[in-house]
């Protein structure tokens, strides 16, 4: 599932179509991606309009158009955005295709867990203003972080980090990376942490968010081999710190990768 940096990368793929008139709108109104929107109204609002800007928040993205129109996109598990120069490059699972003067802006989602939304508002839609604090922002400071863990003290740390109402944009690999870098085991409860461990976890969270945006959001590159990221995907992967084979277990229904030797 796309996470913080992957979402930022995919959002950037529509920039070639900014300030270009949307000449045509092709969509498959039979798929689940349009479950919360009238496809007829969506087509009417988009055709002849122009994208003027975009923003992301966690795993969500929002595109601004003229005439107080906003297009929301959630990628779900397998969604992606792309700019295709040739009409012949349109694929089977391209469920929304916006034809502009220089190509096609495409939303693709094979498993249809993603979602397309439409909002009409002079300013940002109200829901966007009420989203939780972003981890890269200044308001997400240590005091705020500590208050979250205090309120959810019984929760396993891995499950807590995956809560989008608290840590927007953190998915499976990021949560594992944060815990590994802080040397904290994923099954520990939030209330079991000493203050020094809380600080280490907070620093790790900020570091991983910044690093993900640096390496992945720009051009979809992998982080350095010193990260857990490049070693966690296949069985037999080894901890880049100890060289010992990584452990895998289920926590909160999610496969969790960690290093028993490193995360003591």
- At 70 the pLDDT is 98
Query: 128-173, pLDDT tens digit by residue?
Result: 989 999 999 999 999 999 999 999 989 999 999 999 999 999 999 9
More confident residue, 2 or 56: 56
- What radius of gyration, in Å, describes the C-alpha atoms of the chain? 20
Query: 94-130, pLDDT tens digit by residue?
Result: 999 999 999 999 999 999 999 999 999 999 999 998 9
Question: Has residue 1 got a pLDDT over 90?
Answer: no
Residue in 154, 161, 155, 152 with CA at minimum distance from that of residue 180? 161
Query: 59-99, pLDDT tens digit by residue?
Result: 999 999 999 999 999 999 999 999 999 877 788 899 999 99
Q: Cα 227 to chain center, whole Å? A: 19
By residue count, the chain amounts to: 264
Task: Pick 142-258's CATH classification: 3.40.50.300, 1.10.10.60, 1.10.8.50, 3.40.50.150.
Answer: 1.10.8.50
For 36-54, the DSSP string reads: TS-HHHHHHHHTT-BEEEE
Q: Cα 106 to chain center, whole Å? A: 18
CB within 8 Å of 19: residues ≥ 6 apart: 50, 51, 52
Alpha helices of the chain — where are they, by DSSP H?
4-12, 39-46, 126-129, 142-151, 157-161, 172-182, 195-219
* Residue 83 and residue 17 in contact, taking contact as beta carbons nearer than 8 Å: yes
CA torsion sign for 178, 180, 183, 187 is positive
195 C-beta neighbours (distance < 10 Å), count:
8
- At 173 the pLDDT is 96
Query: 234-247, pLDDT tens digit by residue?
Result: 889 999 999 999 99
- At 86 the pLDDT is 81
Query: 9-56, pLDDT tens digit by residue?
Result: 999 999 999 999 999 999 988 999 999 999 999 999 999 999 999 999
- At 207 the pLDDT is 98
- At 238 the pLDDT is 96
Separation of first and last alpha carbons in the chain: 28
The first and second tokens of residue 231, run together, are 């070693």
**Which numeric CATH code is attached to 4-129?**
3.20.190.10
Residue spans of the domains in the chain: they are 4-129, 142-258
- At 87 the pLDDT is 74
- Mean pLDDT, residues 185-195: 96
- At 165 the pLDDT is 95
- What's the angle, vertex CA 17, arms to CA 26 and CA 75, rounded to 5? 65
Same CATH topology for 4-129 and 142-258: the answer is no
- At 2 the pLDDT is 86
pTM across the whole model: 0.92
């Amino acid at each position: 599932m796309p996470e913080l940096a992957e979402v930022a990368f995919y959002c950037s793929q529509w920039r070639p179509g900014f300030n270009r008139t949307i000449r045509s709108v092709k969509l498959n109104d039979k798929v689940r991606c349009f479950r919360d929107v009238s496809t007829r109204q969506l087509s009417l609002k988009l055709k002849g309009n122009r994208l003027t800007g975009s923003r992301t928040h966690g795993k969500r993205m929002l595109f601004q158009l003229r005439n107080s129109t906003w297009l929301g996109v959630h990628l779900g598990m397998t969604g992606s955005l792309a700019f295709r120069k040739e009409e012949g490059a349109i694929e089977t699972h391209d469920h929304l295709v916006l034809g502009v003067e220089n190509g096609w802006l495409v939303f693709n989602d094979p498993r249809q867990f993603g979602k397309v939304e439409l909002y009409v508002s002079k300013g940002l839609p109200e829901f966007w203003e009420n989203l939780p604090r972003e981890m890269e922002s200044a308001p997400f400071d240590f005091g705020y972080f500590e208050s979250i863990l205090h309120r959810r003290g019984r929760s396993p740390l891995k499950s807590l980090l995956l809560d989008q109402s608290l840590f927007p944009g953190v998915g499976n690999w990021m949560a594992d990376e944060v815990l590994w870098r802080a040397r904290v085991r994923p099954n520990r409860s939030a209330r079991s942490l000493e203050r020094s461990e809380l600080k280490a976890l907070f620093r790790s969270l900020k570091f991983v968010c910044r690093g993900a945006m640096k390496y992945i959001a720009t051009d979809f590159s992998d982080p350095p081999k010193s990260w857990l990221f490049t070693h966690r995907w296949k069985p037999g992967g080894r901890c880049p710190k100890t060289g010992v084979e990584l452990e895998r277990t289920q926590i909160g229904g999610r496969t969790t990768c960690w290093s028993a030797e490193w995360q003591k």
